[in-house]
Amino acid sequence: MPSSGHRLRDVEHHPLLTENDNCDSASSSSSEADVADRVWFIRDGCGMICAVVTWLLVVYADFVVTFVMLLPSKDFWYSVVNGVVFNCLAVLALSSHLRTMLTDPGAVPKGNATKEYMESLQLKPGEVIYKCPKCCCIKPERAHHCSICKRCIRKMDHHCPWVNNCVGEKNQRFFVLFTMYIALASVHALVLCGLQFVACVRGQWTECSGFSPPVTVILLIFLCLEGLLFFTFTAVMFGTQIHSICNDETEIERLKSEKPTWERRLRWEGMKSVFGGPPSLLWMNPFVGFRFRRLQTRPRKGGPEFSV
């Protein structure tokens, strides 16, 4: 060990780190600034399928709203206003989904449990730190290892297959926006479906859609079911996320009933910490901080993620 004044504990009670441990010190030499310049993506089959299904369902909803309900309508302003609102919600939802999926959730650098890194920490005598034996890194406080991402994630809330990523310290705000915009779009679609059913029944299903009555009914019923399921799921997730942020407690910490060893940021302090800055319309913008990243070819040394 680099010093007898501090102790290093392994979170799974494996042997303590020594100079001969199989830690890739080269992987820890990559700076966090370099990692921030690359797009994060998890190559998990289930997650990628769920992400594609999410996009297809949103595209389907947009197709039904636009081509089945709004374009055949004789009320010009009804079609324009509802079309703009729904498509804006869909774009914001998909943008938030992309930001959640392609943003590093707060991964701890692999293999940083090295002698040099230990010395750079300048630990106090008797201070205890923890090493993850799975990714061979020093675990910061409130970090947890994700078996799908194969990384330790700072303030990990949970791994969501629908966004093919962990929800953690750096992408939680985008996940909250994703659930909010999907819930709003679902409510809007359900209201439009109800109005469309009423209009079609009153008009005896003539000229209420460019499709035949049986096809129109099937499309509307499927959209209603999709809207109900999406709204229920995303509304619950939005509520739990806001509750977790206001209480400064992740879902994992709540399930494990972990006693807080950190100074909690309650309510607005927690919201400002996640969304950045005082309350403003920027909180609702999933494009904040976005910049195009240049494609970079890098050798893959293991693990399911790659960067571009």
Report the share of the chain in percent with pLDDT over 90: 45
Phi and psi, residue 145, nearest 5°: -85, 130
196-204 CB contacts, 8 Å cutoff, 24+ apart: 196/68, 196/69, 196/220
Provide the residue range defining the domain that includes 178. 45-106+160-284
Give the pLDDT score at 293: 59
In a domain, 99, yes or no: yes
In a domain, 111, yes or no: no
Strands of the sheet with 7-10, listed across from one edge: 7-10, 128-132, 137-139
50 in catalytic set: no
In a domain, 20, yes or no: no
Look at the alpha carbons of 111, 116, 121, 123 in this order and tell me if their dihedral is positive or negative: positive
pLDDT digits (tens, 9 = 90+) for 191-248: 999 999 988 888 877 777 888 888 999 999 999 999 999 999 999 999 999 999 988 8
In a domain, 71, yes or no: yes
Give the pLDDT score at 292: 64
Quickly state the pLDDT bin for 114 (edges 50, 70, 90).
Answer: confident
Phi and psi, residue 218, nearest 5°: -65, -45
The three-class DSSP label of residue 41 is strand
Give the pLDDT score at 302: 43
- Burial of 296 (C-beta count, 10 Å sphere; 0-12/13-18/19+): exposed
In a domain, 269, yes or no: yes
In a domain, 300, yes or no: no
Quickly state the pLDDT bin for 1 (edges 50, 70, 90).
Answer: very low
The answer to whether the beta carbons of residues 141 and 21 sit under 8 Å apart is: no
pLDDT digits (tens, 9 = 90+) for 2-61: 443 444 444 433 334 444 445 544 444 444 444 545 678 999 999 999 999 999 999 999
pLDDT digits (tens, 9 = 90+) for 117-176: 777 777 777 677 788 888 888 888 888 899 999 899 999 999 999 999 999 999 999 999
In a domain, 138, yes or no: no
pLDDT digits (tens, 9 = 90+) for 262-286: 777 777 888 888 888 888 888 999 9
- Please tell me the distance from the alpha carbon of residue 146 to that of residue 144, in angstroms, as a whole number: 7
Give the pLDDT score at 111: 77
Higher-confidence position of 296 and 186: 186
The three-class DSSP label of residue 7 is strand
- Please tell me the distance from the alpha carbon of residue 137 to that of residue 152, in angstroms, as a whole number: 8
In a domain, 3, yes or no: no
Quote the pTM value.
0.82
Tokens of 226: 């999709």
Give the pLDDT score at 303: 45
Which DSSP symbol is given to 289?
Answer: T
Phi and psi, residue 305, nearest 5°: -100, 150
Residue 301 has pLDDT above 50, yes or no: no
Q: Which of 23, 160, 166, 200 is catalytic?
A: 160
- Tally of domains within the chain: 1
pLDDT digits (tens, 9 = 90+) for 89-113: 999 999 999 999 999 999 988 877 7
